[in-house]
Chains A and B, each alone.
Chain A
Amino acid sequence: DVKVTQSSRYLVKRTGEKVFLECVQDMDHENMFWYRQDPGLGLRLIYFSYDVKMKEKGDIPEGYSVSREKKERFSLILESASTNQTSMYLCASIIGGVGTDTQYFGPGTRLTVL
């Protein structure tokens, strides 16, 4: 059974703080993703990675960076948190390659920036 875990379920930070969101998957998946989910906007892709040390911008990368030093771990970094980054953050992974389909999601981190 695939397991994707995220470091925190709930997080409260102050404007200007540096925030790290960690995601770990235990199924040796190549591809990992960070989304944010907001009411009325659905899931929007922030960044994704298809290999160690590789990263690609998604649809809304501004204000975020990522790190993938090991295959199982994909970190999302908010360099200087702002109130408009208050959201639900979801990490996902998929094995990669033609014919793959199911993305497995972590439980999400609900981040509030004050």
Chain B
Amino acid sequence: RKEVEQDPGPFNVPEGATVAFNCTYSNSASQSFFWYRQDCRKEPKLLMSVYSSGNEDGRFTAQLNRASQYISLLIRDSKLSDSATYLCVVNGAGNTGKLIFGQGTTLQVKP
């Protein structure tokens, strides 16, 4: 079983749609959780951290469910520019900054 699992998609949605991605992780001791965004042929960049209480940044909402060991990302009012691959990321053990990446979920927003 992979340490971080995501549905690779692709998710094809029309502009203005709401879309949600889920991700599960296997290590119950994980402490930090993130969503990264990766555009085609570019490096990953942090989209948002995920906190236990849930957090929102504009059209993006991230949730963490520790009991079920899953993380979600909700995108409202999708824009064409949201088309990208979204990587679910979990911090590994210790404080070395070692991150474990899911394989990513591809989102394609169509006009």
Residues of A within 8 A of B (CB): 31, 33, 35, 40-43, 45, 48, 50, 56, 58, 90, 94-98, 100-103, 105-108
Contacts and interface: CB of A to CB of B under 8 A. Distances in A.
Given A102-B46, A107-B42, A94 B97 contact: yes
Contact of B96 (A42, A56, A108): A56
Chain B interface SS verdict (over half): loop
Interface of B: 8, 32, 34, 41-46, 49, 87, 91, 95-104
Nearest to B3: A59
Contact of A31 (B42, B46, B96, B104): B96
A50 B96 contact: yes
29 contacts: A31-B97, A33-B97, A40-B8, A40-B103, A42-B87, A42-B103, A43-B44, A45-B100, A48-B96, A50-B96, A56-B96, A90-B43, A94-B97, A96-B95, A96-B97, A98-B95, A100-B95, A100-B97, A101-B46, A101-B49, A102-B34, A102-B46, A103-B46, A103-B97, A103-B99, A105-B45, A107-B42, A108-B41, A108-B43
